[in-house]
Structure 1
Amino acid sequence: MSDLNSNIVVPRSELEARWAKCRRFLPEIAPQAGGMLCFSRLQIYYLSGSFVNGAVWLPLDGEPVLFVRKSFDRARIESSIKNIVPFKSFKDLAPLAKEAGVPLTEVMGAETAGLTWQLGEMLTSRMSEFKFVPGDKVLALARALKSEWELEIMRETGERHNSALVDVLPEIIEPGMTELEISKYIWNVFFEYGHEGHMRMQSFGAEIFLGHVSAGDSGIYPSSFDGPLGLRGVHPVSPFMGSGAKIWDKHSLLSVDAGFVMEGYHTDKTQVYWAGPKNSIPSSVLDAQLFCQDIQALAAENLKPGTIVSDIYSMVLAEAEKRGFSEGFMGLGDNKVPFLGHGIGLTVDGFPPIAKGFDLPIEEGMVFALEPKHGIPGVGMVGVENTFEVTKDGGKCITGNNFDIIFIDK
């Protein structure tokens, strides 16, 4: 495995490519804006290479300005932006930008999701002479298009992710363990393989911790997480990982939907295990699993430049109806979700989702997690999830190529 620890600093060429992507989309999304003002630490990192507290001003032309509350010294070490300035109040931004030679424009695209209502009101009161228009989609579209630098990190992440769940974990888990015990084993393996520990979600208020570890009917247990796989979780206030009271019994399913992250970039993968030999699994369960694998293959085949995202969703819904799997497809009851997959990168829930209404064309460099799953009443949930890089020939899986249930007979 390559050593990714050398890639501490985001190259200047990479930052310039990111600025160019934002400048490509800003005139389409907010034609009146003369630049973007971003506030969340993740977007600051994306545009500057440093995960600091502050803001970034990205004008349509000229060098960006990185405004830093804390830590100015860290930002100077990590970021190659030439204009890095300390500030204390939003009212300081305009004079500081002017002093740097790239003044704020009368109308700016703002990262509205990067501020609470309270901070948004503070911003507009401190900068009342400026007009802000939503610019979040600019950042979403830019981040959806991965550079070769980003893709190299994600490919390595996916390789380690697959090896951990497919090669190592089956050797150390067994029926009779609780979901929480299995979660701890997964963490141990993941950390050994380079997982950084902290995963991120883009949606407001969404949280994630390892992922879902669901034995038997936990897979169809009511879930507040925006995904098809149910889980009991550790506790009602911490509905992540697995329950210490739920045991993985003989002749039952174990569904592990767990993300992996290195250098800030995520891959997503679901691996299903069966406690017992292959001849002990009901044919209905195996048929549902094979259906999900077929859906994944169908969707991946169509992850080509020019394909409309929503068309893939319509296609798989029609296939589920045709083959008689609509009832449990993408969840049972309230657990059913209206999407097949999602973009992925610096957050797990990246843009765009593969869902109705997302009528934009796929481009080479996008990366998607495809997660077709099927809930079975009284049994649990089967299915797959893997991370695919868009190529001219279709989606190329970067999280392994063995999608079958793994049978553990101990």
Structure 2
Amino acid sequence: MPSTPQDEIERRIEALRRHLRAGSLDAALIAQNIDLFYFTGSMQSGVLIVPAAGEAVYAVRRVLERARRDSPLSQIVPLESYRQLPALVGSAAGGPPRRIGLELDVVPVLVKDRIAAGFEDVEWIDVSPAIRAIRSVKSPLELDKMRAAATISVVILETAMQSLREGMTELELAGRVEAAARRAGHQGLVRMRGWNQEVFFGTLSSGEAGALQSFPDLPLAGEGPSAASPIGAGRRRIVAGEPVILDYVAALDGYLCDQTRTLAIGALPEKFARAHDAAVGILTNVQAAIRPGATPQVLYRRALELAEKFGVADHFMGHGSLRARYLGHGVGLELDEWPILAEKWTQPLEVGQVFCVEPKIVFPGEGAVGIEDEFVVTPEGAERLTRPDQRLFTV
């Protein structure tokens, strides 16, 4: 049985066709795993050929049988070599193509060159912006999957609260949380599109390790278990009276739910408690401003103004040159989707777009606090997909 209904796949492909026609492209070739899954319902290796007019063709390198089982597309053919692509594209497009779209933000140069080698007089155009714009608006089917993923986020928080004990290591707590998430159906993989961006389940960090930053473009990273994996839970032992950041991503049927809560054993010092109150205040204020037509830039600037008002501007979303210059990010099949709540993001929000708002307050050498919720834009404003109370959680 196909993983995605045929009408859903057809709607997505037709949206891409409209972009191709608007850009005077003859066809697009889709090769990245997540984009393949989005437009075909399968992640089997190959190339999806989408002509500006005409039926899409899914050319599969491996495994053809699984692709035919997973995808509702009628044209699913074997692809033994990229040298077959010119003929397949020409047949689908009704003639030799002159302008072809390719996901140039993620397709390696070597792969692009191999694909292009068989074509003559073709101009290669980056079709990634069109794909990311299409994917940013979620269908009712996708929203249902994201709501289902949010149930795993509840399990993650509940397990962390039940398991948190003074003296245990971050890795011990992470192991218990991740085991519970897997039992609840977590798929394990959390995918990111950006170059060299990666995360395993999320980040769990405590005390001064909570303020550490690392290679990903994130406000917080944690120490990680080693230099080979310098993100997330490490070997530090958790102490009472310090913030524990639980920034975990639930993943179910491909779709993600990104949620952060701050935990503590006993009361937090006043400095951290006030900073957490500020983070909650920023979150709820921005939440109230989410609506169709609002721009990500306006929401980001609103958060900056609130951080100044609450006296945490110098510690908002990091510190110094490593400060994250955004308030939130799109979420769907990948963790770093559009829109981004940041400067220069002036395209008005649309109904169906899903993104996180994640105000975090960082004190280098001491720790961090923060909160993160996931929202979908609705005609009336915003629906919160994450479920836990917007507060500090203490045991």
TM-score (ref. length: structure 2): 0.95
Within the candidate set 11, 15, 18, 2:12 is matched to 18
Q: Which residue of 2 aligns with 1:329?
A: 316
Q: What secondary structure does 1:126 align onto?
A: coil
For 1:381, the aligned partner's letter is A
Within the candidate set 23, 45, 70, 2:37 is matched to 45
The yes-or-no answer on 1:151 pairing with 2:138 is no
Q: Which residue of 2 aligns with 1:141?
A: 133
For 1:360, the aligned partner's letter is Q
Q: Which residue of 2 aligns with 1:261?
A: 251
Partner Cα separation in structure 2 for residue 104 and residue 235 of structure 1: 52
Q: What secondary structure does 1:190 align onto?
A: helix
Q: Which residue of 2 aligns with 1:194?
A: 185
Partner Cα separation in structure 2 for residue 335 and residue 318 of structure 1: 20
Q: What secondary structure does 2:117 align onto?
A: helix
Report the alpha carbon displacement of residue 99 of structure 1 after superposing the two structures with TM: 4.3
Structure 1 residues not aligned, in runs of 5+:
1-6
Within the candidate set 342, 355, 363, 1:368 is matched to 355
Deviations 1:10-34 (A, max 9, x none): 1001101111222343445xx1212
For 1:262, the aligned partner's letter is L
Partner Cα separation in structure 2 for residue 334 and residue 223 of structure 1: 13
Partner Cα separation in structure 2 for residue 18 and residue 331 of structure 1: 37
Partner Cα separation in structure 2 for residue 162 and residue 370 of structure 1: 18
Q: Against the structure 1 CA distance between its residues 297 and 103, is the aligned structure 2 distance closer, same or farther, given a 3 Å change threshold?
A: farther
Q: Which residue of 1 aligns with 2:170?
A: 179
Deviations 1:189-245 (A, max 9, x none): 11122111111001022111111111100111232221111310011111233112x
Deviations 1:355-382 (A, max 9, x none): 1111111001010011110012443111
Within the candidate set 77, 87, 105, 2:69 is matched to 77
Q: Which residue of 2 aligns with 1:224?
A: 215
Report the alpha carbon displacement of residue 8 of structure 1 after superposing the two structures with TM: 5.9
The yes-or-no answer on 1:241 pairing with 2:228 is no
Partner Cα separation in structure 2 for residue 249 and residue 399 of structure 1: 28
For 1:86, the aligned partner's letter is P
Instruction: After superposing the two structures, state which structure 1 stretch, 97-106 or 121-130, moved more.
Output: 97-106
Partner Cα separation in structure 2 for residue 355 and residue 158 of structure 1: 25
Within the candidate set 52, 59, 62, 1:60 is matched to 52
Alpha carbons 1:145, 1:364 under 8 Å: kept = yes
For 2:296, the aligned partner's letter is V
Q: What secondary structure does 1:212 align onto?
A: strand
Q: Against the structure 1 CA distance between its residues 101 and 116, is the aligned structure 2 distance closer, same or farther, given a 3 Å change threshold?
A: closer
Q: Which residue of 2 aligns with 1:252?
A: 242
Deviations 1:300-342 (A, max 9, x none): 2222111112111112112212332110000123441000000
Deviations 1:62-120 (A, max 9, x none): 21111111111111111111111112222211212344575563111211134211112
Written as runs of structure 1 = structure 2, the 5 A alignment for 1:197-208 is: 197-208=188-199
Q: What secondary structure does 1:203 align onto?
A: coil
Alpha carbons 1:266, 1:345 under 8 Å: kept = yes
The yes-or-no answer on 1:293 pairing with 2:280 is yes
Partner Cα separation in structure 2 for residue 393 and residue 332 of structure 1: 35
Q: Which residue of 1 aligns with 2:111?
A: 119
Written as runs of structure 1 = structure 2, the 5 A alignment for 1:89-100 is: 89-99=81-91
Partner Cα separation in structure 1 for residue 91 and residue 221 of structure 2: 53
The yes-or-no answer on 1:391 pairing with 2:385 is no
Partner Cα separation in structure 2 for residue 264 and residue 104 of structure 1: 35
Partner Cα separation in structure 1 for residue 94 and residue 36 of structure 2: 18
The yes-or-no answer on 1:305 pairing with 2:299 is no
Within the candidate set 316, 322, 328, 2:303 is matched to 316
Deviations 1:151-191 (A, max 9, x none): 000011112212431x3321122111101111101111111
Structure 2 residues not aligned, in runs of 5+:
none
Q: What secondary structure does 1:138 align onto?
A: helix
Instruction: After superposing the two structures, state which structure 1 stretch, 357-366 or 321-330, moved more.
Output: 321-330
Alpha carbons 1:63, 1:102 under 8 Å: kept = no
Q: Which residue of 2 aligns with 1:270?
A: 260
For 1:351, the aligned partner's letter is W
Partner Cα separation in structure 1 for residue 247 and residue 309 of structure 2: 27
TM-score (ref. length: structure 1): 0.92
Q: What secondary structure does 1:259 align onto?
A: strand
Aligned residues: 395
Alpha carbons 2:156, 2:180 under 8 Å: kept = yes
Q: Which residue of 2 aligns with 1:4?
A: none
Deviations 1:367-405 (A, max 9, x none): 001111001244311110111111122221111140211
Q: Which residue of 1 aligns with 2:120?
A: 128
Partner Cα separation in structure 1 for residue 125 and residue 90 of structure 2: 21
Partner Cα separation in structure 2 for residue 183 and residue 12 of structure 1: 39
